[in-house]
Amino acid sequence: MVQANNGDAVKVHYTGRLTDGSIFDSSEGREPLAFTMGRGMMIAGFEAGILGMKIGEKKSVQIAPENAYGLADDTKYFPVNKSDLPQDMPLEIGLPLTADAGDGRPFQVVIKEVHPEYVVLDANHALAGKDLIFDIELVEVNGSQSKSGLIY
């Protein structure tokens, strides 16, 4: 029976949830997720969970932050004066915003704290520091792929 190995193009259906049971992503109702194993296209723990699975096999894998989106990094919290924000912006903890990296590239932040004169923005990935659980079904394995993407 065919198993998923590094270099294989695979397709999986998945549901990602937090330890409290809340779902943060799922392929339900969509095409299966397609990627090549071992190329770093997915978080390490997700790929490790698929490695060795057989077509049609289903399983749940729990992934620690170190093998997912990393631990929350305190250096990615930064204060912004309220006077530098639009006056009509609702300043609520958890509000997602888009910031400019200074070179025109946007990146996502969320309001972490609200103080009288400033807010603290968090530029960590939304899932940083969280244990993740993925329910995975291996749908397809297409054998090893070359760097050009051709199957051989």
pLDDT tens digits for 43-89? 999 999 999 999 999 999 999 999 999 999 999 999 999 999 999 99
Name the pTM for this structure.
0.81
**Domains observed in the chain:** 8-69+128-144 (3.10.50.40), 74-122 (2.40.10)
For the chain, the average pLDDT equals 92
Please enumerate in sequence order all residues whose Cβ is within 8 A of that of 113, keeping only pairs 6 or more positions apart, or say none: 93, 119, 120
23-51 tens-digit pLDDT: 999 999 999 999 999 999 999 999 999 99
Of 57, 61, 60, the closest CA to residue 44 belongs to 61
Share of the chain above pLDDT 70, in %: 94
Q: How confident is the model at residue 144 (pLDDT cuts 50, 70, 90)?
A: low
Instruction: Tell the burial category of 35 from Cβ atoms under 10 Å away from its Cβ (0-12, 13-18, 19+).
Output: middle
Q: Which amino acid is at 42?
A: M
Cross-strand pairs, 12:
33, 138
Q: How far is CA 32 from CA 12, 29, 61, in A?
A: 5, 9, 18
pLDDT tops 70 at residue 148: no
Cα gap 133→136, rounded to integer Å? 10
